[in-house]
Structure 1
């Protein structure tokens, strides 16, 4: 009897813990036919958290419609800075901007970027995922600039996301020690920043999904 392979199910795992001990969770969808990996994360700045319910809704969608994976492994990190989200601040509990704490070629030591690259457990957690899973594209969700930014060889993906959701492509430039600088410029991985507008804070999870899910789903086509 031929046994059909089971559909992929999102596996939740703890990839690290914050300064205050909160879990940093990843949800991984994969199958035997997967040939590439997409990493999607949100809320590396804790007060830019409208992306978290959007990523959770994407997890629900992939559970309900596993064919959407299209032979890809998808790793979702709904909240990369749980302490910052709890405090509603950009920084982690040490007062470090995690999006300036990566070992990019342009890293600069400062109180806000950390005394050294990867000085913070939250940035280490993301660094380890990138190192271990070798994503072919990375999407990070921010606010409030209402555009699609990119670093490294990410223009084509950014343009597709822009067409799907209506936000314009705007090349903002790789900030020192940012995830964009590290992944895009140092590693050469296409990395796209989906900058939601400030008004996204006032949108329900359903409204966020209706408006911005096309920008995420186009990556999986």
Structure 2
């Protein structure tokens, strides 16, 4: 591991004690004087495309750190925030909670259209969400990007995120839009934007796509986002 990339093998733990990894490079010397971009994979454990994208991105960041070939924005990366769900190929965490409905945004509610969307007994009840909320409060990222799979699109919550979303969609042919098409109370997007005015981007790769295609789809956009000009 490159010394300049900070790695916490157990940054947080899940409800059953599984460690959650975090990587970051936010100290001065990056060439960019700004708040970090926070990137997250594996919010839903049955979406391996997002975890694959996060891990491939990490490899690229590590390689760039060795070669110093490009200046990179300050960044934080959590490859898999829901390792228990990921291990079981299930959407929810070990408590059966959809983490992307458990954030303590003002629009959180207890209703769920199906068990897989169960928002938890109360807003922010889950340890994974609590850890992420604290990280957002402490680090104050300028942008949050989380990696999912469903129908291909790039969705931004908060109009200031439009430019970054368009950058991330570069070369994919995927639609870039402000609304996913249905309500998501208690989601990371709602929490980040409503509570902090931090724009949040949700990358939706094609569900069940060949995993070897995920990084090639989004590599150009992610590289542009992390090395480019103003966002």
Q: Return the TM-score normalized by structure 1.
A: 0.88
Shift in Å, 1:57? 1.7
Shift in Å, 1:141? 0.5
Point out 4+ residue stretches in structure 1 off by more than 6 angstroms.
none
Alpha-carbon distance in structure 2 between the residues aligned to 1:151 and 1:42: 17
Segments of structure 1 that go 5 or more residues without pairing to the other structure are 1-5
Pair 1:69–1:9, CA change in 2 (3 A): farther
Given the alignment of the two structures, is residue 130 of structure 1 paired with residue 113 of structure 2, yes or no? no
CA contact (8 A) 1:31 1:71 kept: no
Partner of 1:186: 195
Pair 1:69–1:81, CA change in 2 (3 A): farther
Partner SS state of residue 222, structure 2: helix
Given the alignment of the two structures, is residue 24 of structure 1 paired with residue 20 of structure 2, yes or no? yes
Query: Deviation digits for residues 52-106 of structure 1, max 9, x if unmatched?
Result: 1221121121121134773522111010111111111111111111101111110
Partner SS state of residue 11, structure 1: strand
Query: Deviation digits for residues 149-188 of structure 1, max 9, x if unmatched?
Result: 0101311111121224321113216610000000023211
Alpha-carbon distance in structure 2 between the residues aligned to 1:164 and 1:189: 25
Shift in Å, 1:16? 1.2
Alpha-carbon distance in structure 2 between the residues aligned to 1:76 and 1:44: 13
Shift in Å, 1:208? 2.3
Partner SS state of residue 51, structure 2: helix
Pair 1:74–1:68, CA change in 2 (3 A): farther
Partner of 1:44: 43
Alpha-carbon distance in structure 1 between the residues aligned to 2:131 and 2:151: 26
- Aligned Cα root-mean-square deviation (Å): 2.0
Given the alignment of the two structures, is residue 106 of structure 1 paired with residue 107 of structure 2, yes or no? yes
CA contact (8 A) 2:91 2:98 kept: yes
Partner SS state of residue 150, structure 1: strand
Partner SS state of residue 189, structure 2: helix
Aligned length: 213
Partner of 2:218: 212
Given the alignment of the two structures, is residue 156 of structure 1 paired with residue 152 of structure 2, yes or no? no
CA contact (8 A) 2:54 2:147 kept: no
Shift in Å, 1:128? 1.4
Partner of 1:97: 98
Segments of structure 2 that go 5 or more residues without pairing to the other structure are 113-117
Counterpart mapping for 1:52-71 below 5 A: 52-66=51-65, 67=68, 70=71
Pair 1:68–1:120, CA change in 2 (3 A): farther
Partner of 1:3: none
